[in-house]
């Protein structure tokens, strides 16, 4: 966790906003206004196009990307996140209106925003988050799936592997950050075929090896198309993965009626159509 420091100046403020997935087109009017009117904007976006677009909105945009390990440097991501948080908070402590602009949704797989808001509030500053369009929102739209039809479960891939989660094969299963599945050192940004094979064997408890799964990546630019690769579960260890890859496992079984509850409600199977 970030080091706690206390300040007597409480004029500064922090707003963490989401830029969405697709450049310029998926940010809310309110979030864009916060960026335009900020004294300082810290950014964590996927490419130079997004960075340049932010710089057209505000004259002081500072990328947080340099805090990641560079070249052959080995650096724990916890140290990286702590340094990012301190950079953001130092500007807040200086009495500035600070915005942290993050790719997608600022509160989904984005611990920097949560750490920074928590620390700012502890020190007596105004701090809040504005939602953005997430990869999950894009996924449902691009794949034409209504998650309300059968429900869905969502896990970070490594957490799913490390803990005893039990997926429901009658619902959609989302595994996030599949590109680093099984990585526990917080120093690597990729997984391996051996780790993915372990995940396949784990999933095989609920899903057949020939069950079709979907590798998804949202488009970053209006001229791009989303990546939607379909293949059997057994082929996952050989898939090309990136840091934006998400794994969707569709249901392998049909929903089962709960006849006991239906009886208590006075409902029959025929009533449900």
% of the chain surpassing 90 pLDDT: 83
Q: Are 211 and 249 in contact (CB under 8 A)?
A: yes
- Tally of CB atoms within 10 A around 88: 28
pLDDT surpassing 50 at residue 7: no
**For residue range 35-49, what is the model confidence (pLDDT) as tens digits?**
999 999 999 998 899
195 SS3 class: helix
| Residue 8, pLDDT above cutoff 50 | no
Q: Nearest to residue 28, comparing CAs of 39, 16, 38? A: 16
Q: What is the mean pLDDT of residues 257-269?
A: 92
Distance CA 25, CA 175 (A): 26
Q: Tell me the pLDDT tens digit for each residue of 111-150.
A: 999 999 999 999 999 999 999 999 999 999 999 999 999 9
Rounded Cα distance, 111 and 81, in Å: 8
Residue 46: predicted pLDDT: 86
Q: Over the stretch 195-235, which tens digit does the pLDDT of each residue have?
A: 999 999 999 999 999 999 999 999 988 889 999 999 999 99
Measured CA to CA in angstroms, residue 155 lies from 181, 184, 216, 248 at distances of 11, 16, 15, 11
Active site residues: 77, 81, 103
Tokens of 28: 């809310």
**CA–CA separation, 109 and 260 (whole Å):** 39
Structure tokens given for 217: 């990546």
Residue with tokens 């340049």: 52
Phi-psi region of 195 (alpha: psi -120 to 50; beta: other; left: phi over 0): alpha
């Amino acid at each position: 966790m970030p080091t706690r420091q206390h300040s007597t100046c409480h004029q500064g403020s922090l707003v963490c906003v989401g830029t969405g997935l697709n450049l310029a087109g998926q940010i809310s009017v309110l979030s864009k206004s916060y960026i335009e009117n900020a004294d300082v904007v810290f950014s964590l976006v996927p490419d130079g196009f997004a960075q340049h677009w932010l710089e057209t909105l505000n004259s002081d945009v500072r990328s947080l990307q340099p805090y990641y390990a560079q070249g052959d440097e080995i650096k724990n991501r916890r140290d990286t996140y702590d340094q990012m948080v301190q950079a953001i908070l130092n500007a807040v402590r200086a009495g500035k209106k600070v915005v942290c602009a993050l790719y997608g949704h600022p509160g989904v797989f984005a611990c920097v925003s949560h750490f920074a808001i928590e620390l700012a509030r502890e020190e007596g500053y105004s701090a809040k988050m504005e939602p953005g369009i997430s990869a999950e929102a894009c996924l449902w739209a691009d794949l034409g799936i209504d998650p309300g039809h059968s429900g869905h479960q969502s896990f970070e891939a490594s957490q799913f592997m490390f803990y005893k989660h039990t997926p429901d094969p009658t619902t959609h299963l989302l595994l996030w950050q599949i590109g680093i599945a099984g990585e526990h050192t917080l120093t690597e940004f990729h997984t391996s075929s051996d780790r993915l094979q372990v995940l396949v064997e784990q999933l095989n408890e609920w899903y057949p090896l020939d069950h079709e799964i979907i590798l998804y990546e949202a488009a970053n630019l209006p001229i791009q198309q989303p990546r939607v690769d379909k293949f059997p579960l057994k082929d996952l260890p050989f898939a090309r993965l990136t840091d934006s890859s998400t794994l969707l496992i569709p249901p392998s079984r049909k929903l089962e009626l709960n006849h006991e509850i239906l009886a208590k409600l006075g409902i029959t199977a025929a009533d449900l159509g």
